[in-house]
Structure formats: structure tokens, C-alpha cells
Amino acid sequence: MSERDAITAVSCLDFSEFKDALQALRAVDDKIIYELNTSVPTTSFSAEVSAAERCRNLYERLTASYARREDVIKRCISETSEKIVDVKKEIGESPNNSTLHKDLRQYQTNLRLMKSELGVEDIVKERSLKAFKEICKAYKPPKKS
């Protein structure tokens, strides 16, 4: 699944699909050391290739990936929260429906897991930026405004 497909096709109500999409979106972070080693030239090649330019490109890819993942996670949290409200209304109308109670518990569990992905996202981001800063010393990322 490509990154673009993962963003648009993610079904927030199916947690395994949500996790698969996040895994596809985290590919650049999972391969950060490889990306850095292939992006940043060694000393002998530094005259031929701009390390700062390659680091800038990689940094832009990383930050774009962070934004897309955060958008997907927050969208899914919102959609799942709305679904929980809908199911609670249905339970109010049909309190003896055990299927609705089961669905509610499943959506609540998924919501907790999705919220925990925001914390995982912070850890992934911190790890990849640490590796980036260690290897891409020639590039100074712009200050956040």
C-alpha cells in the first residue's frame, strides 16, 4: 500500500486497517538510518553532492509524513468518537440489544488505542529527528513559528 493510498483509504472503524495505514505512513521513519546513509555524501563525495540540500529534502519528507500521520490519527479519533455517540443513542432506543453493547465496547477500545498512537507518534518522531540531527549536521531546520 502506497503512502497516498494509506491516507485516503484508511477506514477508521477497522483498527487493523488503521494500524496498517500507520505502518505504511511510518515507512520513512522506519528506514531513517538507511535514508540518511544514502542521502548524505561521505567526505570524499561532499564536493560533488550538496549534503545540506539532500538533508533539506529528507527533512521536508519527514515533516510532511508527520503531518499526514497526525491528520489520519486525529481524523480517526474524531470519527470513532462520533460513532460512539451514535451507538450510545441507539442503545438508548434499544437498551436490550447486546450487539450494540458489544459494538460500543469495541469502538471504545479502538478509541483508546488510537489515542495511544499519538504518544507512539511522538516517540517515532523524536527517534527519527535525533538520527537526522546526528547525521545531517550541515542542515539546520527552520524554526517553527
- Between CA 81 and CA 8 the distance in angstroms is 19
In terms of Cα–Cα distance, which of 129, 28, 121, 65 is closest to 38?
28
77-114 pLDDT per residue, tens: 999 999 999 999 999 999 999 999 999 999 999 999 99
pLDDT tens, residue by residue, 41-71: 665 555 566 777 888 888 998 999 999 999 9
| Interatomic CA distance for residues 61 and 78, integer angstroms | 26
